[in-house]
Structure 1
Amino acid sequence: MPKDIEAGGRGGFSGKDYEDPPPAPLIDAHEFAKWSFYRAIIAEFVATLLFLYVTVLTVIGYKVQSDVKNGGEICGGVGILGIAWAFGGMIFVLVYCTAGISGGHINPAVTFGLFLARKVSLVRAILYMAAQSLGAICGCALVKAFQNGHYTEYGGGANSLADGYSTGTGLAAEIIGTFVLVYTVFSATDPKRNARDSHVPVLAPLPIGFAVFMVHLATIPITGTGINPARSFGAAVVFNRSKPWDDQWIFWVGPFIGAAIAAIYHQFVLRAGAAKALGSFSSS
């Protein structure tokens, strides 16, 4: 297998033009003694709170403005396109703001995928997911506090399977949608790609935000688009109706399966992790 090389100073060559970070330990007790660890957890909590606050308000605002029975207009409000932009735009903004502090996960499925790829420790992954879920609950609670009447009347932004779609279709939509998102996260943050494509400036939050935007356009009519268990869980907790709770498992199982597939595909196929583990498929 040919080596990865780069031109060094004065005509020299080095073995690699990029460096992968070492795998994160499964359990890193030293993290508990670092303020940066707790700062990252706080950042995930606040980012997810802001994410749910803005996006759920957008969903409810659209339903209010398009409700013809209550003085709205059929084409009133931002529409599905605007909702998709709200989700994608907020992810772009929040990932940009928090990437240097916590990595900007803002999604348990992203955290799970990065954990499987040994990018974060088990302890960090668990606490990130807890912070994200709590942040989502608080974000939805703020929406309910400010828009109590509209919140209950227009569904609280809660995810559930739409009428006319089977459970299998909803699950598949969540798996594929989350795969697109997590695959984009891996690709946008890949040190090898950043080294090889340095002539093409890539702002990692931008493709990640666009991935969220595109997936929402495709799957809002099916499940309302979860691809983020914390988003679905927080809305279900605050809205607290049977339909979102009955379908809640779809918004955890689907994203986690999609994230796992994305991690395996990127790490073992695109980054040749399987080939490296076996030595190589071809002789030197």
Structure 2
Amino acid sequence: MTEAASPSTRKLPTSVYEAELRRLQAEFVKVQEWVKAERQRIVVVFEGRDAAGKGGAIKRITQYLSPRVARIEALPAPTERERTEWYFQRYVSRLPAGGEMVLFDRSWYNRAGVEKVMGFCTPTEHRRFLHQCPIFERMLVEDGVLLRKYWFSVSDKEQQRRFKSRLQDPMRQWKLSTMDLESISRWEDYSRAKDEMMVHTDIPEAPWFVVEGDVKRNARLNMMAHLLSTIPYGDVPPKILELPARPKPTGYERPPRDHATYVPDHCAGLVAVE
């Protein structure tokens, strides 16, 4: 993997960030239309440290996209039956058909990371994964799938700060699990597992791209801009749509309000009494 210049750690002004985010999101809408028109298949793999910003990037990419075209896959732990399958089997069933994009919020690389570090797979299973994964990904690429892989990196100090912030925020506590907290004490184990994974799976057909994530907003824009630069999309002429004229009334009368059960007016209680 080639070295790149260190990214700026200076936070962008909010106005600059929001303007560029909006521009990039508009480009992803164009990608969506190109994917549909050309029946393309795109797979984007998001991996990296806990709290490194994967979820935020996925959220911004898909914010204005149709869930029928851009699908997010975040698989739970495998069932007893799935544990007896070929390891890649349950991921294959979630790959895109023509005209679809799939964003994997963690992926088959679980075996190279958490499963390896936490002992959820055997050494033999781990070695088999490192051997089969490049073969699997080459098959996807040879079949025409546009496969992109991003590793979100974050420093131990910044990860610790984000964990503390989540612990104190009841709206975001769900983002933390005992497995996430375990990653603190196993920082170096995860680092070694990641390094070994990169050696075996950073292949020319499907290279890894590392996203420096200490500054979240910068990381999002950097990742989004890079992904767009790797997709050969073009403008698709929009369909010309016109609102039809409303027909003249033909005598229909709406049923009385007391014939239906309406949602209570919660907002009325929020208005300050003058």
Query: For the superposition of Structure 1 and Structure 2, which TM-score range results when normalised by the shorter chain?
Result: under 0.3
Larger Rg: 2
Larger helix fraction of residues: 1
Greater RCO, 1 or 2 (C-alpha within 8 Å, sep 6+): 2
* TM-score, with structure 1 as normaliser: 0.26
Larger strand fraction of residues: 2
